[in-house]
Amino acid sequence: MNQSTANVDLEGTVFDVIVVGSGFGGGTAAYALSRAGLNVLLVERGGWPLRDETDWNGRAILLEGRYRGDSVVRVRQLGAGEAVDTFPNQVVGGNSIFFGGAALRLRASDFGRWPIGYADLEPHYGAAEALLEVHGRGGDDPCEPPRSSDYPYAPPDLTAPARRIAEAARQLGLHPFQLPIALNHRGAREPKCIRCFTCDGFPCRIGAKNDVTQTALAKADPEHLAVVARMTVTKLVERDGRIAGVEAVDRDSQRRFVLRARLTVLSGGAIGTPDLMLRSGLDRLDASGALGRYLMRHCNAMIGYVFPFRTNPELVNHKQICISDLYESVRGQDGTALGVIQDMCMPPREVVRVLGPAGFRWAAAASANRIQTLLCIAEDEPQAENRVSLEDGVPLVRHEYTAGDWRRRDRLVRVARKVLRKAGGLVGKMRPIDSFSHAVGTARFGRSATESVLDIDCRFWRLPNLFVVDGSFMPTSGGVNPSLTITANALRVAAAISSRFPEFAGAGA
């Protein structure tokens, strides 16, 4: 057990708020609630990032799973007849530790099936950009939504690989822009980003990525926040229509605890949160039947082309360019966004040899220094049968794409291929992405208890002191990375909690 605040009596204290999970949602909520003066306990099943040389080792991080947890998740997807056991990463900071920094807002039209509008979230988007110290420039994105505040920092200069993609896109009549990024290039704190080639998918050894540990948790009020790492929450204890306690176990000592707070906030991710709610029996209180259902994770693909020259001889991080020209092109037909195309760094050679396109792994690894890649992110549709359930006490994830999902992805892929060929690429290969790093939707919020798990404040309808602030709340996925939206919504929910705490917490608050 690793506590950031010494001498905390975990079982003898009734906290104002217990936050379960420390990613974009949980870490942000803990920050905001502590700054509002509430006494917060943040519980995380992973340990703290190690921040050493091995954190930049491709084999250790991406293949051997240095941060891989010991909690199994069974996944059945892409038409497979049987589920495969997976072991997601567990670490303080959650997926923010491994994200590549992309920090895009959803568009106003993405909120068509939401119970709130873009205007309701817009000020919180600005606060989220300030919290994560996002580097960007407004006005360049052709479908950028309205904004009431500037980015806190200007973006860094483009690298040579990024300039290559941007120029090729412009020659095709597209409008590439610099991707808003949460990396510390120009911020006030140290250290600054050194543009290493191990960013997306890796912890930052020097702490220059603006992950949750370097931003939200670093800016929280230390007098009102205690962080306990390597502790797994096993059950929510419901009594008389409220959450009365949280059962947890220390992963090192195996000591069991019952933690108590007036209010509980869940942020275990779109797989972990419904798993915990289901194993706590809360599905019996869900009138919508949506708990664990409508899992989305975008329909993504990476396209790599071989060039007749070394594409990145300086081995710099060049995840800087985004193309959104086609974002609204299928809204009238599908009711969804199409999505975006982003520049993407190649994984290390030893990783490509194992995870590259089937049938081409050795060839791709041999020519890795001559390959440049683009990432296509397409919106996927919410489907009730895409879900998280329990099977023999273990979470089972079922996920399949619709024909529309594939169609949107493939349209982006065709454009990405044109860009890479215009940039000088000779021959290319697509690799579908089957991870759940963008997972959302399994505890959707809405306007009535018969259609949603959560109300507009992201409060469980039948339990007035239980909230959810991770990507589970999202009723649609949009066509961009959900990290900034999760952060902004956590700030929105935290503001509601802090302003109405006595009402939400009940008698004795």
| Closest to 64 measured CA to CA, from 85, 87, 82 | 87
| pLDDT cut 90: percent of the chain above it | 93
Q: Give the residue-averaged pLDDT of 25-44.
A: 98
> How many residues are listed for the chain in this entry?
509
Query: What ranges make up the beta strands (E) of 40-80?
Result: 40-43, 73-77
pTM of the model: 0.97
| Closest to 340 measured CA to CA, from 305, 295, 382, 301 | 301
pLDDT category at 410 given cuts 50, 70, 90 is: very high
Q: Based on the number of CB atoms within 10 Å of its own CB, is 71 exposed (0-12), middle (13-18) or buried (19 or more)?
A: middle
What CATH number does the domain located at 21-76+83-505 have?
A: 3.50.50.60
Whether residue 104 has pLDDT greater than 80: yes
Q: Which residues are CB-contacts of 477 (< 8 A; sequence separation ≥ 6)?
A: 296, 297, 298, 379, 380, 382, 438, 440, 441
**Backbone torsion region of residue 133, taken as left when φ is above 0, otherwise alpha when ψ lies between -120 and 50, otherwise beta:** left
Question: Considering just the CA atoms, what is the radius of gyration of the chain in Å?
Answer: 22
Whether residue 231 has pLDDT greater than 80: yes
Q: Based on the number of CB atoms within 10 Å of its own CB, is 9 exposed (0-12), middle (13-18) or buried (19 or more)?
A: exposed
Whether residue 412 has pLDDT greater than 70: yes
Helix, strand, coil in percent for the chain, rounding step 5 = 30, 25, 50
Q: What is the mean pLDDT of the chain?
A: 95
Whether residue 509 has pLDDT greater than 70: no
Residue with tokens 């059962």, as numbered in its chain: 247
| Closest to 337 measured CA to CA, from 294, 374, 296, 303 | 296
pLDDT at 109: 98
Cα of first residue to Cα of last residue in the chain, in angstroms, is: 28
Residues 100 and 318 sit within 8 Å (Cβ to Cβ): no
pLDDT category at 364 given cuts 50, 70, 90 is: confident
Q: Based on the number of CB atoms within 10 Å of its own CB, is 430 exposed (0-12), middle (13-18) or buried (19 or more)?
A: middle
Task: Write out the two tokens for 491.
Answer: 């700030």
Neighbours of 359 (CB within 10 A): 9
| 125-183: pLDDT as tens digits | 999 999 999 999 999 999 999 999 999 999 999 999 999 999 999 999 999 999 999 99
Whether residue 71 has pLDDT greater than 80: yes
Q: Look at strands 73-77 and 84-86 and give their pairing.
A: antiparallel
Task: Write out the two tokens for 72.
Answer: 């199994």
Residue with tokens 């690799």, as numbered in its chain: 431
Whether residue 61 has pLDDT greater than 50: yes
Residue with tokens 């891989």, as numbered in its chain: 68
Residue with tokens 């529309």, as numbered in its chain: 404
Task: Write out the two tokens for 175.
Answer: 């409008």
167-176, 225-234, 348-357: lowest mean pLDDT where?
A: 348-357
Does 88 sit behind a cis peptide bond, omega within 30 degrees of 0 on the bond before it?
Answer: no
Q: Look at strands 299-306 and 371-378 and give their pairing.
A: antiparallel
Higher pLDDT, 369 or 6: 369
Angle at 473 between CA 68 and CA 214, to 5 degrees: 50
Q: Look at strands 73-77 and 427-432 and give their pairing.
A: unpaired
| 314-345: pLDDT as tens digits | 999 999 999 999 999 999 999 999 999 999 99
pLDDT category at 497 given cuts 50, 70, 90 is: very high
User: In this structure, what is the dihedral angle of CA atoms 196, 198, 204, 208, given to the nearest 10 degrees?
Assistant: 30
Q: Look at strands 256-266 and 73-77 and give their pairing.
A: unpaired
Residue spans of the domains in the chain: they are: 21-76+83-505
Cα–Cα separations (whole angstroms), residue 384 to 64, 404, 462 = 34, 16, 21
| Closest to 340 measured CA to CA, from 371, 368, 374, 384 | 374
Q: Give the residue-averaged pLDDT of 275-302.
A: 98
Helix (H, G, I), strand (E, B) or coil at 283: helix
Whether residue 508 has pLDDT greater than 70: no
pLDDT at 138: 95
pLDDT at 365: 82
Residues 240 and 215 sit within 8 Å (Cβ to Cβ): no
Residues 210 and 196 sit within 8 Å (Cβ to Cβ): no
Q: Give the residue-averaged pLDDT of 350-364.
A: 78
Q: Give the residue-averaged pLDDT of 92-121.
A: 98
Whether residue 349 has pLDDT greater than 60: yes
Give dist(CA 70, CA 83) in Å, integer. 17
